[in-house]
Amino acid sequence: MATNRATKTEQSIKENSEKISQARKAISKKSLDVQNVNISQEDLAHDNWKEKQFAFPNRKIRLATAFSGIGAIEHAFQRLKLNYEIVFAGDIDENCKKSYFANYPISEDRWFTDIREFDATKYNGQVDFLVGGAPCQAFSMVGKRLGFEDARGTLFYEFARLIKETQPKAFLFENVKGLLNHDEGKTWNVIYSIFEELGYDVHFRVLNSKDYGIPQNRERLYCVGFKTSTKFLFPAPIELEYRMYDFLEDFVDTKYFLREKGVKFVTSHKNKQKCYTQVNGDIALCQKSNQQFNWHGDFVYHPLSEEDALVEDYDDFVFDVRDVEEKYYLSDKVAKYVLAGGTKSFRTSTRTDLDVARPLLQTMHKMHRAGVDNYVTHKGRIRKLTPRECLRLMGFKDTFKIVVSDTAMYQESGNSIVVDVLIAILKQMDITLYGEEK
């Protein structure tokens, strides 16, 4: 299986077509014009975005998304109880489509699979807000960082094309922090300039989810563009009121618990000293998409209280760890590789028990040292985070329906955007100003 995954990754990197070639040519031409351009991040606002009221709460916002995943922006609109209509959405992952259709009002004719084959010209003038986060592997610190040479790195150009074709009143583009310094900043200069060339007033900044209500240490680049010149400052951080522990489920299936061997491995003095493993942290390490199988990341220990100890069979989930299914544990060989500090060219943290979760990634089902994930313990037994807990740490309420496998849900949550950060941005910009006037 590892060989097959590696082959698929190489294919996606080297993929070529007429549209990919056209994108590379346009990007190359633009890069010559912006080599010495200096652009800086937008400042933070001084007011409290949580206290802001929407100017036109009854207006309908016509929302369109690309690389839609499990619909983080859509969930943000739901949580804010805003009136919105999905103009179109799309994702190449079939499991994402299953999750999306189970949770949001959309018809089949409004969904597209491959953005490169999607023509959005018929929606010109029908979109108020366009949102998307192109695949980030080409620019991520844990990837090969091939940038535009990676076929996936050209997908932002397709997002820009959708902006040109639909002419939204505003757009939001999200990506990894590493995009800013890739190729000494030239890559971001190209992207920023293309957005400006489309006629938008562009603002960008790196925001961390732990500064906006979610106890996860997840830094991402957020870029907002307005069709008209707009004075915009990004939302100011707020005090973190919750710990990762507050997001855990009360009752958890036994399949999420570590066996005795895994408990010893995670709680060993040696591993506790490593910076990519954390136990009982208040803020979770950045969650990854491969956390289903990876022993990097967050572990939570729930010791039995004196009251609990006096009650027989108080908790059905206090059991002999040897009864847990073996498939949830790493072999000695894989564990040694995964928990290594890195190589000459790549180093990673080995801390556990973080207070803020690490970012969830779409590859959390894999087993590799770059995939730092989150684990928890329950009343004397160590376990990993459940898919529901991963969703909570991404800002998704329990109303979100899980209709796919654990593996798919870990991947989808790891690839998503933190909903609470989006809520802060929507409040700060007052998204209702861009709604459809009646």
Q: Which residues are catalytic?
A: 136
Contacts of 185 (CB under 8 A, 6+ apart): none
Quote the tokens at residue 40.
Answer: 């800086």
Element (H, E) at 224: strand 219-226
Q: Strand 277-282 vs strand 353-355: parallel, antiparallel, or unpaired?
A: parallel
Quote the tokens at residue 402.
Answer: 């899980």
Q: What are phi and psi of 83, to 5 degrees?
A: -85, 115
Calculate the alpha carbon distances from 251 to 150, 248, 383, 388 in Å: 43, 9, 12, 11
Contacts of 193 (CB under 8 A, 6+ apart): 30, 33, 34, 37
**Residue 330 bridge partners (DSSP):** none
Measured distance between the N- and C-terminal CA atoms of the chain, rounded to whole angstroms: 55
Question: Based on the number of CB atoms within 10 Å of its own CB, is 47 exposed (0-12), middle (13-18) or buried (19 or more)?
Answer: exposed
Apex 244 CA angle, 240 and 247, nearest 5:
105
Return the SS3 of 228.
coil
Q: What is the DSSP track for 349-383?
A: ---BEEESBBPP-TTTTS--TT---BEEEETTEEE
Quote the tokens at residue 254.
Answer: 């036994």
330 near 338, Cβ under 8 Å?
yes
Would you state the torsion angle of the CA atoms of residues 403, 407, 410, 415, taken in this order, to the nearest 10 degrees? -90
Quote the tokens at residue 169.
Answer: 């009143």
- Edge-to-edge, what's the strand order for the sheet holding 219-226? 111-112, 83-90, 60-66, 129-132, 170-176, 219-226, 201-208
Among 221, 191, 217, residue whose Cα is nearest residue 204: 221
Question: Rounded to whole angstroms, how far apart are CA atoms 302 and 249?
Answer: 12
